[in-house]
Amino acid sequence: MDNKEIILDVQNLNTTFTSDRKQIRIVKNVSFQLKRGTSLAVVGESGCGKSVTMNSIMRFLGHNATVKADKIQYNALRDGKVTEYHLESIKKPHCPEMRALRGPEMSMVFQDPMSSLNPVYRVGDQVAEGLLQHNKGMTKKQAREKVLEMFRKLGIPDPEERINCYPHQFSGGMKQRVVIAIAMICNPELIICDEPTTALDVTIQAQIMELLKEMQVKDGKSIILITHNMGLVAEMADEVCVMYMGRVVEFGSLEDVFDRTSHPYTQALLRSVPVLGLADGQKLETIPGATPNPADLKGGCEFADRCSFCTDACRAKDIPMFEVSPGHRVRCLKYQDYPEVQ
Ligand SMILES: Nc1ncnc2c1ncn2[C@@H]1O[C@H](COP(=O)(O)OP(=O)(O)OP(=O)(O)O)[C@@H](O)[C@H]1O
């Protein structure tokens, strides 16, 4: 696949945090590709490193984080021509190159709308800010028109009036629409959504997800969706990346991961959610044990202690990725008959 088809190519991403002089590796050799115009769901239990992975790509991490990767390549497509950005070589999160990309090319929608919005600024001004920053010749009046257009597109009622309101005058669902408007106003191609609907009630969740799906399908956006909700994954995702303790343990198309599940952790994860394929009388299961403390890991498969298929070989050394079928990869020795891949 060439750079026109791949919008984001991440190879061997590692993120380490330093606290109390100790270093803890949270993201470990994460590799994946996002196909242009498709959506990728990133799933896994709380604390497995989903957000840190995405924040490492966007360079939204604090000073105690060290991000290293063989490749974090963003391929911008403008007028049929691809421009490659090698984000792995970026040293400072706030450098001009990164600032130029965030907004017009890639943007992020966070879980809690209140922490993304400034309570003392009118919502219209907050949405217009990115536009004015990235389009030097644009007047405030032109920016206002663009914001109104975006509010209409996102189904915010009475946009002329609401544009002058403060965040506290909006409901949770409307606030999240404003956050999406901020992310979308510069028309980025890649949108990373970090549990964008967790703080919202179920009906509003569905509306917001429908909106994101529409953007992906109609406007050809590429979406990464971090979520715990397997129902959303089934509705939204073209491909699924399963993470456990900072590693990708399974990656493939939605059908590969859901119907031809190959990692015991993915199997356990799918059996522990209420929405998928439970036959009558079948009980919902919990994943035995708890996620280990990242500081206590000794090498070998991180899932070994919780896995009923575990053998001594699983604990002996780090487990490579195996290719189950083209595009479907799994990090499990149960699949050692398959060819080893990166
Ligand atoms: N700034 C930081 N310094 C030290 N450790 C951190 C920092 N940020 C995150 N971590 C640790 O990194 C690990 C992964 O966190 P992350 O937020 O990526 O998990 P997650 O999979 O997104 O979880 P959730 O689904 O709950 O959001 C956690 O153990 C967390 O405590």
**How does the average pLDDT of the chain come out, rounded?**
89
- Residue closest via CA to ligand 1's atom 9 equals 52
Q: How many CA atoms lie within 13 A of 65 on its CB side?
A: 20
Is the pLDDT at 286 greater than 80, yes or no? no
Q: What's the pLDDT tens digit per position in 85-95? A: 999 998 887 88
| Residue 32 CA, ligand 1 centroid: distance in Å | 19
ipTM: 0.97
pLDDT band at 210 (very low <50, low <70, confident <90, very high): confident
Is the pLDDT at 17 greater than 70, yes or no? yes
Is the pLDDT at 49 greater than 80, yes or no? yes
Q: What's the pLDDT tens digit per position in 225-243? A: 999 888 889 989 999 999 9
The answer to whether 32 and 241 have CB atoms below 8 angstroms apart is yes
| Residue 27 CA, ligand 1 centroid: distance in Å | 10
Pure H helices in the chain: 50-58, 96-101, 113-116, 123-134, 140-153, 159-162, 172-184, 202-219, 230-236, 254-259, 264-271, 312-316
Cβ of 17 less than 6 Å from ligand 1: yes
| Residue 47 CA, ligand 1 centroid: distance in Å | 5
The answer to whether 122 and 163 have CB atoms below 8 angstroms apart is yes
Cβ of 26 less than 6 Å from ligand 1: yes
Q: What's the pLDDT tens digit per position in 117-158? A: 999 999 999 999 999 999 888 999 999 999 999 999 888 899
| Residue 23 CA, ligand 1 centroid: distance in Å | 14
Q: Which of 51, 195, 302 has most ligand 1 atoms within 8 Å of its beta carbon, as the pocket-test mutant? A: 51
- Residue closest via CA to ligand 1's atom 31 equals 47
Mean pLDDT of the region 292-320: 87
Q: pLDDT at position 216, please?
A: 86
Is the pLDDT at 81 greater than 70, yes or no? yes
Q: Domains plus CATH for the chain?
A: 6-243 (3.40.50.300), 255-341 (no CATH)
